[in-house]
Amino acid sequence: MNGLEIKDVVVDFGSFRLDAALSVPRGCVTGLVGRNGAGKSTLIKAIMRQAEIASGSILYNDTPFYGNETEVLRKIACVFDTPHFSTALKPKRVVKIVKGMYPAFDGELYDGLMKKFGLPGDKPVKTFSTGMKRKFGLILALCQKPEILLLDEPTAGIDPYDRGVVIDLIQQFMLDEGHTVLFSTHITEDLDKIADYIAFMQNGKILLSEEKESLCESYRLVQAPEISEEMKKGAIGVQKSMFGYTFLTKQKEVRGEDVLVKTPTVEEIFVHLLGEGER
């Protein structure tokens, strides 16, 4: 069962074209990974129906958008990297507006979380630090009681403590197995840990999408002082340094003098796979 079924969705900005197909499994956390400009934010906007979809369709917990617009928009909530309301407003004003839009809004949960994280309700949002803004955005999204939560760079630019808070809120949301999370990221180790699935994006397309453990185990990261002809076959994203070569490979056995082989992290796959052909 999929929380989101993105079927060949095309968004055409002229200079940039998104053409994406992706299944986001229900009950799981999926990390959308890619470099700046890969189309991660555009895909999230398309899912939120905030970017015009030229062709293709999206199913939200098996429900199509057309004919069910209100229902679908109540199922999903998103935390964008910058707030979608005037930051001159104070949280207590913002929450009134949001409450009007979402009948299911949980006011009690809102009060509890604002208090827990020490966020003032009577100061303009623009006076908040980046971490406070991010937490406020996430609280607003969670209190809408969505089934599908989308997050655009949820931990970018915030300190490790707040990052921990954000991750815990995501995992708390995931205690309900009917819930689905899709977040975009440049990768940080802690996000790497909580994601169940990883989807790589490049040039507006989904390059690959796989369960995280099997993705990592399908590759090998090789460090070798010299690169042999044998190794060159199937070597991905070869990087040369003073001390030798580092590359990704799908070869089962890599042999040679002083060759180090290990299972790569998502970050290492990112660097070698998406950096291919650039060095």
Partner 1 sequence: MHIHLSLQSGPLYEQIEYQIRAQIFSGELRAGEALPSIRTLARELKIGVITAKRAYDDLIAEGFLYAVQGKGVFVSEKREDDLINGKTERLKEQLRAARRFALENGVSSEQFVEIFKEIMEGTDERS
For partner 1, the binding residues (CB under 8 A) are 27-29, 167-168, 171-172, 174-175, 177, 189-190, 193-197, 211-213, 217, 253-256, 259-263, 265
Nearer to partner 1, 28 or 51 (CB): 28
CB 220 within 8 A of CB 262: yes
Nearer to partner 1, 257 or 278 (CB): 257
SS3 content of the chain, % helix, strand, coil (to 5): 35, 30, 40
In angstroms, what is the minimal distance from the CB of 138 to partner 1?
A: 16
In angstroms, what is the minimal distance from the CB of 85 to partner 1?
A: 30
Angle at 179 between CA 120 and CA 111, to 5 degrees: 20
Burial of 265 (0-12, 13-18, 19+ CB in 10 A): middle
Q: Which residue from 167, 171, 199 is spatially nearest to 184, judged by alpha carbons? A: 199
If you ran DSSP here, which 8-state letter would residue 153 be given? S
Nearer to partner 1, 27 or 64 (CB): 27
Backbone angles phi, psi at 267, to 5 degrees: -60, -40
Cα distances (Å, whole numbers) of residue 71 to 26, 37, 68, 220, 237 = 18, 31, 5, 44, 44
In angstroms, what is the minimal distance from the CB of 241 to partner 1?
A: 20
In angstroms, what is the minimal distance from the CB of 172 to partner 1?
A: 7
Nearer to partner 1, 37 or 112 (CB): 112
Nearer to partner 1, 128 or 200 (CB): 200
Q: Which residue from 196, 162, 199 is spatially nearest to 179, judged by alpha carbons? A: 196
CB 200 within 8 A of CB 267: no
Nearer to partner 1, 101 or 260 (CB): 260
In angstroms, what is the minimal distance from the CB of 175 to partner 1?
A: 5
CB 88 within 8 A of CB 160: no
In angstroms, what is the minimal distance from the CB of 209 to partner 1?
A: 14
